[in-house]
A and B are shown apart, each in its own frame.
Chain A
Amino acid sequence: DGGITQSPKYLFRKEGQNVTLSCEQNLNHDAMYWYRQDPGQGLRLIYYSQIVNDFQKGDIAEGYSVSREKKESFPLTVTSAQKNPTAFYLCASSGGGGADTQYFGPGTRLTVL
């Protein structure tokens, strides 16, 4: 079955640690995205990539980093510079950029201890 997987489902981070969230897709999609979801707010775009080895900052990129070395994979690192990282993180992919339909993974809930 084609789809998007994210791991881990739950992640706990201590203050000052960097953590990496995994996102893999086998939909053969070119574009991939990372969003953050907080209670009472719409999803906010962290980073996106429209092609391998290229990515752009979204609206809230500070304290995050990404890489896109393979078409199937788009990992997100939450660095110690992110002051309020506790949130639900969602990865998505689409066949092209922009307003093409995006399909989401199951999400990773990150909690800072």
Chain B
Amino acid sequence: EDQVTQSPEALRLQEGESSSLNCSYTVSGLRGLFWYRQDPGKGPEFLFTLYSAGEEKEKERLKATLTKKESFLHITAPKPEDSATYLCVHGGATNKLIFGTGTLLAVQP
């Protein structure tokens, strides 16, 4: 079964404590791997698209990387405003998006 699995489900960090979120997928035929940020009660906000293994993209304190079966979202020196749910989404050869259930990140001051 095609699946996108995100871990951990929840992560609590102290301000300034760097960490990584993981996204693994069993879906074949990657056309794009997407990361979104979602705040409570709001729609997902687009962060990155990665297209091939080895690709990296950065935005402020966030860096996304991609291997053949995994993607990581690295958060460097996070701030409380980085608290949100981060969603990983696989776009495959069938033109269908498969969404992970997200990692809920809480950054404490």
Contacts and interface: CB of A to CB of B under 8 A. Distances in A.
B92 A107 contact: no
Interface string A77-111: 00000000000101010000111111111110100
A98 B49 CA distance: 14
Contacts of B95: 97-99
Contact of A99 (B42, B87, B91): B91
Interface on chain B toward A: helix, strand, loop, or mixed SS?
strand
A106 B43 contact: yes
Nearest to A9: B41
A97 B92 CA distance: 12
Interface residues of B, number: 23
A90 B44 contact: yes
A106 B102 CA distance: 18
A42 B100 contact: yes
A102 B36 CA distance: 10
Interface string A29-41: 0000000000011
Contacts of B98: 42
A19 interface: no
Given A101-B46, A105-B43, A106-B43, A42 B32 contact: no
